Structure 1
């Protein structure tokens, strides 16, 4: 039997007879017992190239350069333009496509591998930024919509592959920290990206479209991110620090992958209770970017708010990740504390947001209303500045808890790909609906109300899963349940004892 596929959180022998699984732990394994080859060669205390930490770092820098720069551009409101309609329509197309692709993207990643998936996924971001640049000088609605659709396809695949790495590569004790490292590096991209328009528009104290140089800088960085993805290795090459590999299908077919969506839900039907959390996880971006940042502030202040939003995500991720991995408490206890914390933070931050939102309506800040956009020198700016900062921090806490919850349900790369596919699909479907509502000029206070209502409601729905389905440890047999009822398709193996 060839040693070319994955293993779970414990090493195991799988016998030729169908259904015969006998897990055994190889307690003698050490990190020095690695296969031969450059990707397993150690340099002092540095980890080997095909280790989770190195691969996580690489994919974090890809996301730094692609989605990170996209976030910085979107965070300006209106994609950096004074009118939000073009960006609204592009984001409706983007998220509608993402919603469909996201549900199937886990199967695509399982079939193509993470390296090809992420490299392809990075291409859509530079085309999206290029279409915004083109729209500044020409009326190109067809190109704009195409760019949104193509990015929806690319981003759906990229984020499903990223989710596989995030959820299945670390050991059970490392998942919160690994997410925090990734989220921190990824959002440094948003911070640095927001400094580009801030520097280039530092003297622009009116609401105006950002300069061509801003868009060109974003395009160059996004292309570099897509190229960097080619340096990744696929999941079947990964060996964790405890000697285990990732549970994967051996030579999966498209049929087995599509069937895997069904078997994934059948194996863990409680995952359906997370779907409202998935739906609401990108819903609030539209309100924050368009109803607050683009609506009320001048160009340079929008860039400053954008920087603070992503900086807050780094700060929050550095706190929430280690807390979720705190081994002083059982994982079941941490899950309960997480649920209560999310309820309190949602009520406090979004409740505080109402005090700001009741100050103005769409009509008050319309272009023909005579409203003068606020600058950071305006008296009273500190309040909304901190509100925007805490909105960013909340986003990181929410996304981190969702990723940690999915990771607590399984260590299987295959199942993780399907979970993340569901997550990104429903997340994007919700975002598409919200962008559409904003494009149709829903009142700002109603946009705020949908935010807090969906967030609190989704926590109520998810509570049974968080309280009763998260366990202190996931057994390998649990991760193998959904492999199309055919254990011989999976070949977990004891880590090799051949030294590099």
Structure 2
């Protein structure tokens, strides 16, 4: 455990204020602040997801998006860890603002590419987005894991995932509607698609200004949501190094690596290969809807399941493991139907039964993604009640998952056989399940009195 744990006591035990006035619109409530960060992520990462989910970033040639996203996730892998330190030094609002600014720049780079076909701008913007995403997601993770009351952590996480994924749903409608009448042989989505993404991302930048400092967040019982004091660069450097020998983080590592690794295969080589452009956009809507359903379902169970905290976590891992095995098995059956990157007669959403099977598979991938990631966030949230510690934990998680994604985009760019990509994805998720079970047994108390673990 971080050295911070030796000096900070659980905030529920002191610094109590009179019970706060209840209500969703109380500006300094955890629920309102989680809702605000959800809107920020709806506009920025949510729209980025819709853009990436098109397959090739809306371009028929996947090479540019592979290079750009390699840059995104390579930089994210570094700044994911650094993002936790930035949050603790500058606070969530400034960290979020700096991070969000990179998103509209990334969308603008593909608008530029539509006219000039130069990879320099998208790849450079991708690198900057990796920096920004590291900052944004570290602050986001600290907010959604430390602000909620312990017995409502799953609900708040699912609320975040639902609104965040709604960005992918709305964003998926842009390419579907703006490119509805374009032929199957179009080389890219039109300019209006990228402009719409930029507009929402700029709105997200503005919304970051509404985030309050952590020490102003009061729960309904009058307690402060978390104890936050601004840190220093020296202290954060020391705490970051400790993460790489922290046994809890080492147990999370395979799940973190797997959690973004599968996007490349699913977006580029399922959605991007089997379907025409307008149908890719429609599929995105279903994919992100599935993520909303998955996160809401697992979040409700993790908070209200008829079992203790540890047992709910264990059952959650079992549910995700069974579902994941079935879905990746279906993915294998689908992959055996076509060769690497080749599907001569692109599927359109009007093709009836021919469309239904691949759509169900793509929908199921989204469902599994949200359930898996919401479960991991819930487990991480049970590891501390201090936003500084949790920002580092989430930063580590984001860094590892981004390193995995960077490798995955390079694997695809080098034309690795699709069957190999699928098997590696399936194996990574399968390895993570028993390690999460071990973490729950060793770290999470069977009876959640304060939402804490044994140190």
TM-score range, shorter chain: over 0.9
The 5 A counterparts of 1:381-400 are: 381-400=355-374
1:455 counterpart = 2:429 = yes
The answer (yes or no) to whether the contact 2:169–2:288 under 8 Å persists in 1 is: yes
Q: Could you tell me which residue of structure 2 aligns to residue 441 of structure 1?
A: 415
1:278 aligns with 256
Q: Is the counterpart of residue 375 in structure 1 residue 348 in structure 2?
A: yes
Comparing 241-250 with 392-401, greater Cα deviation is found at 241-250
Could you tell me how far 1:6 is from its partner in structure 2?
Answer: 8.8
Rg (Cα) greater in structure: 1
Change (3 A) 1:239 1:264: farther
In structure 2, the CA distance between the partners of 1:207 and 1:453, relative to structure 1 (3 Å rule), is farther
Task: Look up the match of 2:239.
Answer: 260
Residue in structure 2 matched with residue 235 of structure 1 by the alignment: 214
1:430 partnered with 2:404: yes
* Paired residues of 1:7 and 1:246 also in contact (CA < 8 A): no
Residue 415 of structure 1 is matched in structure 2 by 389
Kindly indicate whether the alpha-carbon contact (under 8 Å) linking 1:287 and 1:444 is maintained by their aligned counterparts in 2: yes
Runs (4+) of structure 1 exceeding 6 A deviation are 476-479
Residue pair 1:191, 1:310 contacting (<8 A) in 2 also: yes
Question: In the TM superposition, what is the alpha-carbon distance from 1:247 to its structure 2 partner?
Answer: 4.0
Maintained 8 Å contact 1:335/1:467:
no
The answer on whether the counterparts of 1:69 and 1:222 sit within 8 Å (CA) in structure 2 is yes
**Structure with the higher fraction of residues in helix conformation:** 2
Distance 2:139 2:411 in 1: 30
Equivalent residue for 2:72? Answer: 94
Residues 1:52 and 2:37 aligned together:
no
Shift of 1:264: 5.5
Deviation at 1:258, TM superposition (A): 1.6
Check the 8 A contact 1:8/1:245 in 2, yes or no: no
Which of 82, 89, 111 does residue 133 from structure 1 map onto?
Answer: 111
Q: 1:424 to 1:474 in 2, by over 3 A?
A: farther
What is the CA–CA distance in structure 1 between the aligned matches of 2:172 and 2:452, rounded to whole Å?
46
For each residue in 1:303-347, what CA deviation from the matched residue of structure 2 results, as whole angstroms up to 9, or x when unmatched?
Answer: 111110001111112211111101531101101101211210111
- Using the alignment, how far apart are the partners of 1:478 and 1:353 within structure 2? 37
TM-score (norm 1): 0.85
Q: Match for residue 197 of structure 2?
A: 218
CA distance 1:149–1:476, shift in 2 (3 Å)? same
CA distance in 2, matches of 1:75, 1:439: 16
The aligned residue for residue 490 of structure 1 is none
Q: Give yes or no for contact 1:161–1:417 (8 Å, CA) kept in 2.
A: yes
| Larger relative contact order (CA 8 Å, sep ≥ 6) | 1
Q: Distance in 1 between matches of 2:150 and 2:425?
A: 32
User: Does 2:247 match 1:269?
Assistant: yes
Structure 1 position 408, deviation (Å): 1.2
Distance 1:231 1:335 in 2: 33
Please name the residue that 1:486 is paired with: none
> Which residue in 2 is equivalent to 1:185?
163
Partner of 1:488: none
Give the Cα separation in 2 of the matches to 1:286 and 1:418. Answer: 26
> Aligned equivalents of 1:46 and 1:288: distance in 2?
37
Asked whether the equivalents of residues 19 and 222 of structure 2 are also in contact (C-alpha less than 8 Å), the reply is yes
Structure 2 Cα separation of the partners of residues 382 and 276 of structure 1: 33
- Cα distance in structure 1, aligned partners of 2:415 and 2:148: 43
| Residues 327, 364 of structure 2: 8 Å contact kept | yes
Q: C-alpha distance in 2, partners of 1:100/1:168?
A: 23
Answer whether contact 1:7 1:244 (CA < 8 A) is retained: no
Distance 2:213 2:244 in 1: 25
Structure 2-normalised TM-score?
Answer: 0.93
The aligned length equals: 446
**Structure 1, gaps ≥5 residues long:** 14-25, 33-41, 366-370, 482-500
Residue 48 of structure 1: how far off its partner (Å): 2.0
Question: In terms of mean alpha carbon deviation, does 88-97 or 454-463 score higher?
Answer: 454-463
RMSD, matched Cα? 2.1
Match in the other structure for 2:49: 71
Contact 2:287 2:365 in 1 (8 A): yes
Pairing of 1:292-303 with structure 2 (within 5 A): 292-303=270-281
